[in-house]
Amino acid sequence: MNMTSFSTLQYSKELQAVGFSQSQAEVIAEGVGMNLNATHDFATKKELYEVRDQLNKKIDQKFDHLDEKFNLLDKKVSHLEGTINCMADVLISKLFNRLGGLMVACMSVGISAVAFFTRGIA
């Protein structure tokens, strides 16, 4: 009895030959046939392993893609950090220049005021 070509009629005849009534043999044969048809849809271990391997391959591809994206993002963040540091240096330089200019202006005004007041006193 080959499982892929199971004949319910043949099985029913075999059951009748060993003493089952025709109605009993038909019911049993139909039940076995339905059971075989139902188990036909189950996956084998080999099929499950193949699907697992395919899923693992897809997951690995997605992680590789994510790694590429993270590397690109890391490069952009590094470039941004460099740009921010450069901008900070420029701003600090401008601040020192302006503060220096302000100090010179204040000193000039102070010296001029001292000179003006000392002329008026002498």
**pLDDT tens across 70-116, in order?**
999 999 999 999 999 999 999 999 999 999 999 999 999 999 988 88
d(CA 96, CA 90) in angstroms, rounded, equals 10
What pLDDT does 90 receive? 94
- The domain spans of the chain are 1-42
Cα Rg of the chain, angstroms: 46
What pLDDT does 38 receive? 65
What letters, b where the CB count within 10 A reaches 16 and e where it falls short, cover 104-119?
eeeeeeeeeeeeeeee
Calculate mean pLDDT across residues 50-73: 96
Would you place residue 1 in the very low, low, confident or very high pLDDT band (cuts 50, 70, 90)?
very low
pTM: 0.44
- Chain segment 2-56, per-residue pLDDT in tens: 345 778 788 888 888 988 888 888 888 888 877 776 666 778 899 999 999 999 9
44 Ramachandran zone, left/alpha/beta (phi>0; psi -120 to 50): beta
Name the DSSP letter for residue 18. Answer: T
Residues 26 and 12 sit within 8 Å (Cβ to Cβ): yes
Instruction: Tell me the helices (H) and strands (E) count for the chain, helix number first.
Output: 3, 0
